[in-house]
Each structure stands twice: as structure tokens, then as C-alpha cells.
Amino acid sequence: MVERRKPIAVAEAVRHVMKFAKEGALEWVRLEDSYGRLLAQDLVADHDVPPFDRSPYDGFAIRSEDTVHANLENPVEFEVAGQIGAGSVFTETVGPFQAVRIMTGAQIPGGCDAVVMLEITTEEERDGKHYMSLKRSVKCGENLSLKGEDVKEGESLVPKGTMINPGTMALLATFGYSHVPVAKKPVIGVLATGTELLEVHEPLEPGKIRNSNAYMIASQIIRAGATPKYIGKVTDDFEKSFASVEEALGDVDMLITTGGVSVGDYDYLPAIYKQLGANVLFNKVAMRPGSVTTVAELNGKLLFGLSGNPSACYVGFELFVRPIVRTFLFSSKPHLQMVEAVLGADFPKPNPFTRFVRSKLSYDNARLFVAPSGLDKSNVVSSLADANALMVLPGGTRGFEKGMKVQALLLDDQLGCEWPWGESPLSSKL
């Protein structure tokens, strides 16, 4: 008998899962190991930037008041009282009509309030002394990088939950983070079910296929910022599958299974959830592919029952698992970023379910275009490699035409999004 399941809307399904989203733990790693991790605390400035008034150019530090009468006919002459390289400091105070030779980045000596660039000065040696003269007046503060003009001490510069990129690394180093508080990666178990599955090194056999979903999901887990733990694969056998799921649950923060969630005779996940006493959040979503995606919860731990179909599995991960992972990693924008783009293909056939089509987003003339990255068949593995977006075609009674605006979820983006589902007019049917 075919079990009748009631499909729920994608946004509703996401909302159900997000009820169990929680922040994880913090760990300290060395700065050089922190690239690509997510900050577990806001990055805070430990000092002003610049930390002192400094020179943005090679030139001479002077007192601007000494230049008020300078012009082309009446150059003003300064005695060069010393010189400062970047990293050294001029300890004396500069007096009237004295100048100090200063390098880019060096601290402005006491008494000085301006820098003149080397190019507008004339130098002269006379009686063993060094002089510099200037044919224009200079304003107080001219050519100074002022203490704190970039960043003030105590300022929060990057919020927690942000992925550390090269620019963030520069900030962390600048503010003395030799160790960085990053979000601990959750461990996500991956268990593939299906008698038809071979390991990757095994030769093909009639009726069998190699287990590709586990490796695909493992890299989606890494891309999202978590650590995959491959539990293995089990054949379509209730007792074995149950034992594997139960044992795995103890070792992981959440568990993903692939396959076994449909209503076929060999789909044991529904019975496993029942026997575990897990709370099934939903077992049918009004989406293609992946309508049989099932999520259950046991003592606050989530069990993601993704479809065995590669595309459905891929989509199910990005919609339901990713926001849970990113929340665990302290992100306040845990969902994939959703953008609008011009549709590059016709989808004449309406579908009552919302479709998520593996697509390629491209740019032309300051516009965004999105087109399927392969044939739109849920079993076409080969279109997955090219995909950098999931095109979203809301379910309903109409088809979609080339040139229409549609929404797309960015797969490689690290910024994320607070809640992409149902806010804009385009999303209202999700």
C-alpha cells in the first residue's frame, strides 16, 4: 500500500527545522590556522588605527605656523634636525624652523603638525648642516594620518559568525589576535542506505551503482563549515539500518542518512524513526526534487533523512542542513543568499511543487542570468559539477519563460541570508 503523506510548503519545512537550531561552542586556534573558520566572537580593536599620528608619504615633518609667509618669491628655510625611518621614533621636540626627514608610516615627531612631500622641497648642505626650503604655505594637519582615523580602540569590526577571509586575517593580526576564538565545527554523521550501493573502489555490477551521495554530502558539509563523519553504508535491512542509526547518533551532533525515506517496500527510515521514538517534523515537502525529504528530532538532535536521489539529496542538504550548521557556527545569516536573476531557459510545464533547479548563474552587462546547468532531470549527476546556484521556480499553475525574473540561491556564497523564504513577492509561493 502506498502511504499517503501530506506535503508542506518549503518555507514551513525550513521553519520547523529551524526551531531546533542552536549555537555551538567556541574554541581557540592559532591565527595561522584560522583562515576559513567562522568567528565565535566579534572581532574587537585593541588599539586605535593608526596607533599614532603618522606620515602617509616620504617627506619632512614641520610646524605649519613656520610656513605662513612662504610663497614662490619668499621660500622659507628649515634646518633638518634629524630623520626617522618607519619603526623608529624621533624623541626630541621639533622647534621653530626645524624639519625632520620622515618616511612613509613613521610617527610624527612632537611639535610638528604637518608633512610636506619630498617632491615640493629643495635640499641644501651648508657649513656641514642640512637645510630644506619650501615655496608654499602648509595647513595644520596637512598630510597627516591621524591616530584612530581608521579604527577606534574597542570598536567591533567584524561580527561573530563571519567567515575569516584574507581581509579579516589582516585585522586579526593588526589587533594582536595570535589566537582566534572560532566556532567549533559540528560533527555530522553520514550514513548511506541502499542495497544497490557499491563503494567507490568496487567494480560496477549489474543493478548496482557506486555510492556518490556520501562523498557529495561530505563536501557540502565541509563547504558549510562542519566536519563530516562517514559512518558507512547499509543494505536495505531494517535491523542493520536501525542499529547503524542508533549507534551513529551517539557519536555526532546531527545525522544525515541518504535513501530509504520514500514509500517503497525497502524504505525503512520511517520505521526507524518510529522505533527510536523520534519526533518526525515532516516527511513530505512540496518541492522537486526531494519531496520525500524527512527530518526528525530525538532529544534535540536532528536526523536528516535525505533522498537517495543525488539532486534531491544535494538540495535537501542546502535547504535544511546548512542553516542548522551555520547557526551552530554563530552566524545570524544561516541560509543561502537568495538573489533575483533573469531566466535563461523556458520551463513551459507548470508544477504544483516548487522546483529547485541546479543552475549556473552568470553575469553580463551588469545583469544576472540563471540557466539550468544540465538537463533538468533529477538523476542527472553530471549537471551538478557546474552548478553554482539553485534556481527557484515556485509551484503553481503557470510555467516560466526565458526573460522572466526568478530567484536563485547562491551555493558558493559565504555571506548568507537571514530568511530568504517568503519575504519578497517572488518568494510568496514557497
Q: Which of residues 339-368 bind a second copy (CB under 8 A)?
A: 339-342, 358, 363-368
Contact yes or no for 106/54 (Cβ under 8 A)? yes
Q: Which stretch binds a second copy (CB under 8 A): 19-27, 273-281, 323-331, 373-381?
A: 373-381
Which H or E run includes 355?
A: strand 354-364
Q: Which stretch binds a second copy (CB under 8 A): 11-19, 103-111, 295-303, 392-400?
A: 103-111
Cβ partners under 8 Å of residue 403, min gap 6: 342, 343
Q: Is position 29 an interface residue for a second copy (rule: CB under 8 A)? A: no
Shortest Å, Cβ 181 to a second copy: 15
Q: Which of 29, 169, 187, 371 binds a second copy (CB under 8 A)?
A: 169
Q: Which of residues 400-429 bind a second copy (CB under 8 A)?
A: 405, 412-415
Q: Is position 156 an interface residue for a second copy (rule: CB under 8 A)? A: no
Q: Is position 104 an interface residue for a second copy (rule: CB under 8 A)? A: yes
- Residue among 140 and 415 whose Cβ is closer to a second copy: 415
| Cα gap 188→422, rounded to integer Å | 29
| Cα gap 430→427, rounded to integer Å | 6
Phi, psi of 117 (to 5 degrees): -70, 145
Q: Is position 93 an interface residue for a second copy (rule: CB under 8 A)? A: no
Work out the burial of residue 371: count CB atoms within 10 Å of its CB; fewer than 13 is exposed, 13-18 middle, 19 or more buried: middle
Q: Is position 4 an interface residue for a second copy (rule: CB under 8 A)? A: no
- Residue among 315 and 324 whose Cβ is closer to a second copy: 315
Shortest Å, Cβ 39 to a second copy: 10
Q: Which of 387, 389, 390, 430 binds a second copy (CB under 8 A)?
A: 387
Given strand 59-62, what is the order of strands in its sheet? 114-117, 59-62, 98-102, 76-84, 129-134, 121-126
Q: Which of residues 227-256 bind a second copy (CB under 8 A)?
A: 230, 235-236
Cβ partners under 8 Å of residue 109, min gap 6: 61, 84, 90, 92, 93, 94, 100, 102
Q: Which of residues 271-300 bind a second copy (CB under 8 A)?
A: none
- Residue among 157 and 345 whose Cβ is closer to a second copy: 157
Q: Is position 2 an interface residue for a second copy (rule: CB under 8 A)? A: yes
Q: What separation in angstroms does the CA of 303 have from each of 142, 219, 242, 294, 331?
A: 63, 18, 13, 8, 21
Q: Which 8-state DSSP code applies to residue 321?
A: I
